[in-house]
Amino acid sequence: MEKKVVYRIVTIADDEREAVFLGEMHSKGWKLRKVSYSILVATVKYIFEKCQPEQVSYQLDFYPMKKSERASYLQLFKDCGWEHITDFNGFSYFRKLHSGIESDAEFEIYNDATSKLCMINRILKLRLLPILFLLAILTPILFRFLLRSNGFSLWALLVVGLDLFLFLLLLLLVVHISWKLWHKKKELSDL
């Protein structure tokens, strides 16, 4: 079996872009097999296997649940014609052949604004709020550490500089994800 590994930078707000990418890969003869964390910082590792090029709709669903609910959750999607592929970072990955789709509403798992809003609210509540809480705790600690440092050695300067850089990077990422999710939420609320 021939396989292909692709690394991409994606965030929790990129589910639609990710689904389009996966559909394009399948149309080129590479079906998704697995998604996992990468050793490269801020990238996701996709493993594909060679297949016949087909038009396939990929969808992601963010629905963390108890193990006891898992079987009925997957059965619901199976009954609707969606094949479960893998899970990663709270997201479940599904695909469905276009030949098995009878109406436009079947191209998406959530084909109404209310369901899409519920998924975005789950992402905000279970992924973004904990990160914002962590930033709220780390901000005063970082500033207190910066203000207490009287004499700087080269190592202290490097550590503080690295901490500050990582903090700002995390802050920018959270702002970017927040903006995208709130924009999606507003767009869906207006429907």
Tokens of 116: 């899409």
Handedness of CA 166, 168, 169, 173 (dihedral sign): positive
Per-residue DSSP letter, 80: T
Q: Where in the chain are the domains?
A: 3-107, 113-189
pLDDT tens, N- to C-terminus, the chain (191 residues): 799 999 999 888 888 899 999 999 999 999 999 999 988 777 899 999 999 999 999 999 998 888 899 999 999 999 988 999 999 988 999 999 887 777 666 677 777 778 888 888 888 888 878 877 887 787 777 777 766 666 556 666 676 777 778 778 778 878 888 888 888 778 877 76
The structure's pTM equals 0.77
Distances from the Cα of 59 to the Cαs of 20, 78, 165, in angstroms?
9, 13, 35
